[in-house]
Each structure stands twice: as structure tokens, then as C-alpha cells.
């Protein structure tokens, strides 16, 4: 399958990235987002200690 994409004349000298992604069809049902699944994912204790450990790793 071939598709053509029109690119504006003023951008012809600039590099471009084209991303192709499939479109969900109308008949396909999307899973519903459940925010409770992600609760606590980014919860960090002792942030200062974790940062100190990371900085110490850089120095060694």
C-alpha cells in the first residue's frame, strides 16, 4: 500500500520524522482505564537518601 504525504515547501530543507500509527477501528472496544491500578506507582520514601545514593554512584 502506498500513501503520499504533502510536505510544505518551506520545510523541505529541514529533517522530518514521520510516525505511522494504526487507528483503532470503530468496532473495537477499548479497555477502560482504572486509575486504582496505578495508585502508588510513583510513591517514593526517603527521597533525599535516594538522591544521595544516586549522586554517590555518579562519583564512583
pLDDT score at 26: 66
- Cβ atoms of residues 17 and 23 within 8 Å: no
pTM score > 0.75 for this model? no
Pick left, alpha or beta for residue 13 (phi over 0 → left; psi -120 to 50 → alpha; otherwise beta). alpha
pLDDT score at 39: 72
* Segment 2-58, tens digit of pLDDT: 777 777 777 667 777 878 777 766 666 777 888 777 776 666 778 888 888 888 888
**Residue linked to cell 477499548:** 30
Per-residue DSSP letters for 1-60?
--------GGGTTS-------PPPPTTSPPPPP-GGGGTTTT--S-HHHHHHHHHHHHH-
pLDDT score at 38: 75
pLDDT score at 41: 64
Amino acid at each position: 500500500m502506498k500513501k503520499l504525504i504533502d510536505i510544505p515547501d518551506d520545510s523541505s530543507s529541514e529533517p522530518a520524522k514521520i510516525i505511522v500509527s494504526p487507528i483503532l477501528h470503530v468496532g473495537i472496544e477499548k479497555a477502560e482505564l482504572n486509575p486504582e491500578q496505578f495508585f502508588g506507582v510513583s510513591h517514593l520514601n526517603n527521597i533525599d537518601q535516594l538522591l544521595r545514593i544516586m549522586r554517590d554512584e555518579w562519583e564512583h
